[in-house]
Structure formats: structure tokens, C-alpha cells
A = this chain, B = another copy of it.
């Protein structure tokens, strides 16, 4: 949700131009501040940012994106598994990447393609793999075996117009070498099946790019962290669609709620999500509600859409503020990172935070935005401080010392 001042918005940020009376109300009755999700100047991933906002030191606990994607999709990741985020992509005959998202392939097509990939046999018998599409072009791969390592490079080059990257071991271990070999074999076998698949023939006939390659990235293992339920003795749940976010929340010991109409896109059902969060608060101490839409609009460089999405989130917040008991509920609003419409990337700029609720030391900030919240009573903090601050307000943090 956070951004930089944009020329097309008269050098204001989307938050600064959006009509968002509920967010501004939260800021004006609450305490505000500015948060570096990871550290000043470090562009966060959505996984590291969320993990940090949940109170963890990501420099100590982060073990790669892959396991969060798999967990978020409901896969039970085991200790020795190595997991990958994957993309259905379009490549030409020289393996040059033409479209990293295969025209943002529809779920139905991706499902049929994924189905055919499951029957592939690996030459090394003691390794199992699990592959599933998730949303659109997104997919997850889990390798299971005793001699695997996450120290392998991505085949996803991260851009279009260049060749698929060679998968290389990133250290000198036998395990890394072995894992890179397995992945290269798998990529090749996936490609062979996809190239001649009827679904792709149909796609080409319809004028759509064929999803003829699976790109791998973000090798990761299960992070070893204490769940927040144990750290603070709270029951916690999350309302989120994005697999990566769900995976982080699952790792943190939070219950994953499913909401009909929530899509992880700008067309999500904002009020359905709000309803689910409010309901969850009846049986939970802590509920995190995540909306992916502003990030999607930012990656598309669409400032106008981003402003619209922020206004929808404002209405979602209005619903929540109307429904919860504000005499005993704390509401915190923040962004997991800055994604700028100008650069279309995650940036290392900080994000605004506002917290309202009983006994907070309210300040004189009256607007929820990147620049207004800087002047708030929380000052400038790191992402990892946010959950302890909230848990302290709930009386859930153990005293350190006597």
C-alpha cells in the first residue's frame, strides 16, 4: 500500500490522494509511526515483511520463500523437504523466456497441465516430488528426500527476453549438486510434457501464449520458529489468500481462514474478508487481515487502480471499525512493504503504521500516509517491533526481569 510520491498524482503518494476517511480516523484517534519492515533501505519480500511484522527477526529465521508457498497452499512441509515457488511460463525453441506468467494463465488451464506433470518419474528413485498449480501462473514444487539442499540457484531469470537460467549449486556440498541435477532433470521433463500438451495447443489456437515451461525459484526449507501462540499465549488467525502470506502465517502458528469471494486480486470481496476477520475476533486474540490488491496494482504501475483499491480497503476498515467493540479491541493498520508504481518493484522505503485502542498514547497525526505518520508518537521502528507492541497492549508479553 505504501508508495513514493508519483508524478501522475501531482507528486503525492496513492495513500495521500485516496479518499480514506476511516484510515484517517484510525490515525487521528490512534498512535502513528513509520516502520522499516526489515531495515532501512532493504526492499522486503512479501514473506520476509510479513514474518517481520509478526515479530520475528528475519535475518535469523528466514529460510527461503519456497516453504511458505507450499505451506500456504496447504501442503504439509516436512523437515527435510526443499520447496520452490514456480511459474508457468512461455519460452521459445531456444528456451528464451517470452512471458514469465504465460499470459497470466487461467486456473482451469493450469490445473489440467499440472495434472499431467505429476506422473513424471525421476531417474533417482529415492526422491519424491509434489507439484501443484495455485493461482493463475503460480505453482509450488516440493522435493522430498534425505540428501537435498536449498542451496541451488533459480531457473527463473526474473525478466523476459533472456534464456531460462541454468540451475547451479550455490555451495560445494554434494547435496546442493544433487539437488541442482534433480531440478534440471525435472525442468527438462516438465518442458517435454508441456510442449505437446493439448491444453497448450488449445491456448495457441485461441491466440494465448502456451504455458510450456515451469520456472523454479526461491528454494526454501521449513523455518524453525516458535509460533506466536506459544510466544504470547494467544490464539491467532489470518485472513489472506496469497499462498506466500498464508504460509508465513501457518509457520507462525496461526489458523488459516478461508473466505468465499476473496481472490488475492483487486477484484477480491473486501467486505467478505472484513466480515471473516470480525467473526474470527470472537474466538481469537489476534487476527491478521491481508489484502494483496495494492501490491498487484503497484507491480502493474497503475497508480489510479492503486488509489481505487486503497479506497476499497478504507471501506473494509470502516466495516471493521463499525463491528468490533472498540472499548476492548486494538486495530492496527500498516503495509507489509512499499511497492512503487514508479519502479513497479518492492522498495526499501518505510511504511506507515497506526494503532488505535484503549489507553494508547494518541498523537496529533490526523492522516494515514507515508509522510503524515512520520510525525507520530511511535517514531521509526522496525517491522519486528510491531507484534510485540500489539501484544504488550493486550497484556500478553512476559516481563523481562523482575
Flag if A402 contacts B45 (CB, 8 Å).
Answer: yes
Q: Mark A9-30, 1 if CB is under 8 A from B, else 0.
A: 0000100000000000000000
CA distance A400 to B347 in the complex (A): 10
Residue-wise, chain A 335-371 has the 8 Å CB interface mask toward B (1 for contact) of 0000010110111110000000001111100000011
Question: Of B370, B391, B401, which is within 8 A of A44 by CB?
Answer: B401
Query: What residues on B are CB-neighbors of A359 within 8 Å?
Result: 4-6, 340, 342
Q: Does A47 have its Cβ within 8 Å of any Cβ on chain B?
A: yes
The answer to the question of A316 belonging to the interface, with a C-beta cut-off of 8 Å to chain B, is: no
Q: Which of A174-182, A281-289, A304-312, A381-389 is near enough to bind chain B?
A: A381-389
Distance, CA A374 to CA B374, complexed state (A)? 11
- The reply to whether A348 and B392 form a contact with Cβ atoms under 8 Å apart is yes
Given A42-B397, A45-B402, A85-B402, CB of A370 within 8 Å of CB of B361: yes
A129 close to chain B: CB less than 8 A = no
Q: How far is the CA of A371 from the CA of B218 in the complex (A)?
A: 43
User: What distance in Å separates the Cβ of A48 from its nearest Cβ neighbour in chain B?
Assistant: 3
Whether A212 sits at the interface, judged by CB under 8 Å, is no
Contact of A5 among B348, B361, B400 (CB under 8 A): B361
Residues in B neighbouring A209, C-beta threshold 8 A? none
Which chain B residues border A395 with CB–CB below 8 Å?
A: 343, 345
Q: Could you say which residues of chain B place their CB within 8 Å of the CB of A46? A: 401-402
Contact across chains for A349 and B371 when beta carbons are under 8 A apart: no
A58-B401 in contact given A40-B385, A41-B385, A392-B347 (Cβ < 8 Å): yes
Q: Contact at B389–A49, with CB atoms within 8 Å?
A: no
On chain B, the residues within 8 Å of A58 by CB distance are 400-401
> Does any Cβ of B come within 8 Å of A380's Cβ?
yes
By a CB distance below 8 angstroms, the chain B residues around A378 are: 380
Q: How far is the CA of A367 from the CA of B218 in the complex (A)?
A: 46
A45 to B399, CA, bound (A): 6
Whether, in the assembled complex, A91 has its beta carbon less than 8 Å from a beta carbon of chain B, the answer is no
For A385, give its contact among B13, B39, B47, B375 (CB under 8 Å): B39
For chain A, residues 63 to 122, give those with C-beta under 8 angstroms from any C-beta of chain B: 64-65, 68, 85
Instruction: Decide yes or no: A5 and B377 within 8 Å by CB, A38-B400, A43-B400 being known contacts.
Output: no
Docked Cα-Cα span, A46 to B380, in Å, equals 25
In the complex, A161 has a CB within 8 A of chain B: no
Report Cα–Cα, A390/B4, bound state, in Å.
Answer: 14
Contacts of A38 in B (CB 8 A): 400-401
Contacts of A347 in B (CB 8 A): 392
Q: Could you tell me the distance between the alpha carbons of A287 and B46 in the complex, rounded to whole angstroms? A: 32
In the complex formed, the residue of B with least CB distance to A248 is B401
Q: Nearest residue in B to A220 (C-beta to C-beta)?
A: B402
A371–B381 CB distance below 8 A:
no
Tell me, yes or no, whether A131 is within 8 Å of chain B by CB: no
Contacts of A39 in B (CB 8 A): 385, 388
Q: How far is the CA of A64 from the CA of B400 in the complex (A)?
A: 10
Report A11 CB to chain B, min CB distance, Å: 8
A44 near B371: Cβ-Cβ < 8 Å: no
Judged by a CB distance under 8 angstroms, whether A379 is at the interface is: yes
New contact pairs (4) apart from A41-B389, A65-B402, A348-B392, CB-CB < 8 Å: A46-B402, A48-B400, A348-B389, A375-B375
On A, residues with C-beta under 8 Å from B are 4-6, 13, 34, 38-49, 51, 58, 62, 64-65, 68, 85, 218, 244, 340, 342-343, 345-349, 359-363, 370-371, 374-381, 385, 387-392, 395, 397-402
List 23 A–B pairs whose Cβ atoms lie within 8 Å, in order of A's numbering.
A4-B359, A4-B360, A4-B361, A5-B362, A40-B381, A40-B385, A40-B389, A41-B392, A42-B400, A43-B397, A43-B398, A43-B399, A47-B401, A48-B400, A48-B401, A348-B389, A349-B392, A363-B371, A371-B377, A374-B376, A379-B380, A380-B380, A380-B381
